[in-house]
Amino acid sequence: MQERSRWWLLTTVLFGLLSTNITFTIFNVALVDIARNLHTTQSTLTWSITGPLLVVGVSAPLLGKLGDLRGHRRLYLFGLVGSLICAALTAVAWNGTSLIAARLFSGIGGACLTASSWSLLFRVFGPAERTKVLGWWSLVGAGGPVIGVAIGGPVVQYFGWRWIFIAQVPLIVVALVANLRGLPDTDRAEGEDLDVAGALLLAVGVGSLLLALNEGGRGWTRPQVLGSAGASVIALAVFGLVERRRTSPIFPLEWLSRRNFTLPCVAGFAMNFAYMGGFFLTPLFLERGLHYSIGSAGLLQIARPLLFALSAPAAGYLAVRTGERPAVLTGTALMIASMVVFALLRPGSSVLVIIVALGASGLASGISMPPISAMVANAADVRRMGSASAGLQVANQVGVVAGIQLMETVQTSREHVSGVVGSFQEAYVAGAVVTLLAVAATMLIRPLRSSPSTIGMNGVIGLSEVTAAAEPAG
């Protein structure tokens, strides 16, 4: 594919992602107004936020495999159409139940777009360029919600929350038309069947785990939580036994023995744990502990995704020169520093220090997530990129849900002992401790080996370097 065509493909694919994720943050901000308008409670509507996260974790392996078998062009377009329907249904939602149902469907669209975008892009951008591409990919992933807050706030205030999604419909239509015209199809895995039994077992295992984490904040010893955790263990154990006998598994278990696949997934889990746990807690900390107004807390929050979005493309290009592992280690160090600064905040702390802590967290994710994703992609066969993307999606989603619930649990359980400020500080310490897991995992990742013979005229690293990443851990 010509250079101009490759970058046009990148632009249209990322525009599709932007058109679907731009409403994520503003939806959270507008939750109070939505609950009042639909005559329901905020706690009920929380499922419209956490539900899609569960759906992504459950559906990602099946959808990734479907893309590998049936073609990722079809999967990507299905994701856009699904997101279009979701936006329209959300705009006309008549009660809380209809809104939650529409938002749950958005999780399927998001899983389709993430898995298929990897496969579509990485067939034309080789291993040496993937970190750069994923930098731009992360820019859209983090920048879309920032744009949503900036534009959506006035829309909600002057026109009402439904107009957020009414305006999203033509945006997705434009993305759909652009990708219908220029989106190439991908090679399909020949001679493989869809592993329905494996998909169901994995969905039950991952879904039960996410449900247990999501409900754990209301009490970790409740029967629902313990039952979900037990169901997850049993389903994943049976999944492992069944998949060893399959010639075309929903997820290749041998990938788990590849150091450069499993360890980046562990790092992604830990980084998302700290980032999203902090993302959830910080507004509450600013309002309850440091006595900021809701408006001021919301405005300060923009620093985190803004730094994420701005740093990701530059970090992707830098990682090509320094290597993925040093980039990830830099990001983990910044995340730990961010958690530590938050743990030291108290009433009267300078607003500049708060902005530095927020910015460090966003910068940490912007620096580390593109190379983490690139290492996972480079450890897998390009024909199974949908499954590789799904594996990282599951690890990230588990990290997101675990971070939100466990850091919140630390805060609420310690408040009567350590006070409001002290309980939040201890929650951030927990985030820093989990981030150490990302440091340890990254230190054990095998650096890619390259030589002049493996690099072609276009700067694309050849098969020998990918093989180095795909070797089982020794």
Residues 4-31 have pLDDT tens digits of 788 888 899 999 988 988 877 666 667 7
Tell me the CA distances in angstroms from 354 to 266, 304, 307, one per residue in order.
28, 11, 14
pLDDT of residue 357: 94
Residue 221 phi, psi (nearest 5)? -105, 5
Which stretches within 183-255 are classed as H helix? 196-216, 223-243
Q: Which residue has the higher pLDDT, 255 or 194?
A: 255
Q: What is the pLDDT of residue 367?
A: 92
Q: Kindly report the length of the chain.
A: 474
Spell out a b/e string for 330-359, using b for 16 or more CB atoms within 10 Å of the CB, else e. bbbbbbbbbbbbbbebeeeeeeeebebbbb
Q: What is the pLDDT of residue 463?
A: 32
Identify the residue with better confidence: 249 or 418: 418
Q: Which residue has the higher pLDDT, 28 or 43?
A: 43
pLDDT tens-place string over residues 417-443: 899 999 999 999 999 999 999 999 999
Residue keyed to tokens 């150490």? 436
The pLDDT score that the predictor gives to residue 71 is: 84
Cβ–Cβ < 8 Å for 345, 286? no
On whether the CB atoms of residues 32 and 42 are closer than 8 A, the answer is yes
Distance CA 99, CA 38 (A): 9
pLDDT band at residue 454 under the 50/70/90 scheme: very low
- Does residue 452 carry a pLDDT above 50? no
> Are the CB atoms for 331 and 354 separated by under 8 Å?
no
Is 364's pLDDT higher than 90?
Answer: yes
pLDDT at 450: 43
Choice among 27-36, 193-202, 284-293, 303-312 with the minimum mean pLDDT: 27-36
Residue 89 has pLDDT above 90, yes or no: yes
Report the C-alpha gap between 418 and 46 in whole angstroms: 28
Region 241-265: mean pLDDT is 86
* Selected residue with higher pLDDT from 351 and 199: 351
For the cut 70, the answer to whether the pLDDT of residue 458 exceeds it is: no
Of 245 and 74, the one with more pLDDT: 74
Query: What's the whole-number mean pLDDT along residues 169-194?
Result: 82
pLDDT at 242: 87
Give the model's confidence band at 247: pLDDT under 50 very low, under 70 low, under 90 confident, else very high.
confident
Residues 245 and 197 sit within 8 Å (Cβ to Cβ): no
Of 93 and 303, the one with more pLDDT = 93
Sign of the torsion angle spanned by Cα atoms 108, 114, 117, 122: negative
Place of tokens 């939806």: 27
pLDDT value of residue 381: 79
Contacts of 157 (CB under 8 A, 6+ apart): none
The mean per-residue pLDDT over the stretch 143-149 comes to: 70
**Average pLDDT score over residue span 81-87:** 93
Is 458 buried (19+), middle (13-18) or exposed (0-12) by CB count in 10 A? Answer: exposed
Of residues 207, 178, 217, the one with CA closest to residue 111: 207
Give the mean pLDDT of 96-119.
Answer: 87
pLDDT tops 90 at residue 380: no
Q: Give the pLDDT band (50/70/90) at residue 211.
A: confident
Most confident residue range from 78-82, 278-282, 293-297: 78-82
In this prediction, residues 205-213 reach a mean pLDDT of 87
SS3 312: helix
- In this structure, whether the domain defined by 3-195+246-470 belongs to CATH 3.80.10.10 is answered with no
The answer, yes or no, to whether residue 141 has pLDDT greater than 70, is: yes
Q: Is the pLDDT assigned to residue 304 strictly greater than 90?
A: no
Per the listing, tokens 């958005």 go with 106
CA angle 210, 215, 218 (to 5 degrees): 155
Please say if the pLDDT value at position 267 is more than 60: yes
Beta bridge partners of 461: 455
pLDDT at 153: 67
In which band, very low, low, confident or very high, does the pLDDT at 92 lie, cut at 50, 70 and 90?
A: very high
Rg for the chain, CA atoms, rounded: 21
Contact 112, 52 (CB under 8 A): no
Is 192's pLDDT higher than 80? Answer: no
Q: Which of 233-247, 283-297, 437-451 has the highest mean pLDDT?
A: 233-247
**CA 473 to mean position of chain CA atoms:** 26
In whole angstroms, what is the distance from residue 178 CA to residue 176 CA?
6
Q: What's the average model confidence in pLDDT over 143-159?
A: 72
Who contacts 54 (Cβ-Cβ below 8 Å, separation ≥6)? 107, 207, 210, 211, 214, 397, 401
Helices (H), 294-448: 294-301, 303-322, 324-344, 351-378, 385-443
pLDDT of residue 146: 67
Q: Round the average pLDDT of the chain to a whole number and report it.
A: 83
